[in-house]
Structure 1
Amino acid sequence: MAQSVKPISSPVPDAWYPTLAVLMLAIGLVITASFFIYEATSSRKSRSLAKELTTGAVASVFLGFGSLFLLLSSGVYV
Structure 2
Amino acid sequence: MAAKPVTSPVPVAWYPSLAVLMLSIGLMVTASFFIYEATSSRRNRSLSKEIASGAIASVFLGFGSLFLLLATGVYV
TM range (shorter): over 0.9
Aligned-CA RMSD value: 0.4
Shift of 1:11: 0.2
Q: How many pairs does the alignment contain?
A: 76
Q: TM-score, normalised by structure 1?
A: 0.96
Deviation above 2 Å: which 4+ runs of structure 1? Answer: none
Q: What's the counterpart of residue 72 of structure 1? A: 70
- Pair member with larger Rg: 1
- Runs of 5+ in structure 2 lacking a partner? none
Shift of 1:15: 0.2
**Residue 55 of structure 1 pairs with residue 53 of structure 2:** yes
Q: TM-score, normalised by structure 2?
A: 0.99
Percent same amino acid at aligned positions? Answer: 78
Shift of 1:29: 0.2
Aligned residue type for 1:42: S
